[in-house]
Amino acid sequence: MTEHVLSPQGQQCLQALMRVWFEFERQLGRVPLLQRLDRGQFSKADYCQLLLNWRQQVIEGSRWISRCASSFDRDYSDVRSVIIGHAREEHRDYEMLERDYVAAGGNLTDIQQAPRNIGTEALHGFLMYRASQPNPVDLIGAMWIIEGLGQKMANDWAAQIDQTTAGDGSYTRFMRYHGANDDDHMQKLYQLIDRLCQSPAQLTAIVRTARVTARLYCLQLEEVDHE
């Protein structure tokens, strides 16, 4: 991939976002649920519990991203187009997740009626708040974390879950689906970083939002065990 060379500001932003991501992966490595998955001490019930907790955030995810798109004014109409496209692609992903939950032995009404966990409350609240600000350029930081997670789910977790629960891939479709079109997604992200990170203040805001998103995401995963 040589097409797109980032601006110096964009490059600094990418360096910082890579570090936020690596730090996030280390935080994930300390989440008890994921440590158990790593050790192969993870049951189908654990997986269902994970999906049950996750669904609420996936549903809210489509809302903050739509809100984010609508908060960009006319000067950012190009960005708005990209984000609307993204929101449209993903806003019904939760249905796939629900099907996985049922395929793994869960009861549809249980997942549909489950409340948000504490981490999800915090993450959703934060993202909706940021998305409601005029021209929320910092949310590229949140997208960075969530795109990275999608790839991690598809490349690591789905296989680990199938292996430890003796699955055949029939109930990890939602996770695997996020590995599709990786390169295309990365390309879009790079372009957005370049477009949206044009000053040191924007860089600081993007990195801060990425870090908050990462921390709250971990909190959400930590809370899966607390329900």
Binding site for other proteins (CB under 8 A): 1, 4-6, 8, 11-12, 14-16, 18-19, 22-23, 25-27, 29-30, 35, 38-40, 186, 190
Q: Is the distance from CB of 189 to CB of 17 less than 8 angstroms?
A: no
| Cα–Cα distance for residue pair 112/194, rounded to 1 Å | 39
Q: Which two tokens stand for residue 87?
A: 């929101």
CB of 68 to other proteins, least distance (A): 24
CB of 136 to other proteins, least distance (A): 23
CB of 218 to other proteins, least distance (A): 12
Cβ closest to other proteins, residue 97 vs residue 203:
203
The span from the first CA to the last CA of the chain, in angstroms, equals 44
Cβ closest to other proteins, residue 1 vs residue 134:
1
CB of 41 to other proteins, least distance (A): 8
Q: Which two tokens stand for residue 50?
A: 């994970």
| Cα–Cα distance for residue pair 4/186, rounded to 1 Å | 11
Cβ closest to other proteins, residue 18 vs residue 108:
18
Cβ closest to other proteins, residue 58 vs residue 146:
146
Q: Residue 65: how many CB atoms within 10 A of its CB? A: 23
Q: State the virtual CA torsion across 56, 61, 67, 68 in degrees, nearest 10.
A: 150
Cβ closest to other proteins, residue 168 vs residue 183:
183
CB of 186 to other proteins, least distance (A): 8
| Cα–Cα distance for residue pair 138/203, rounded to 1 Å | 8
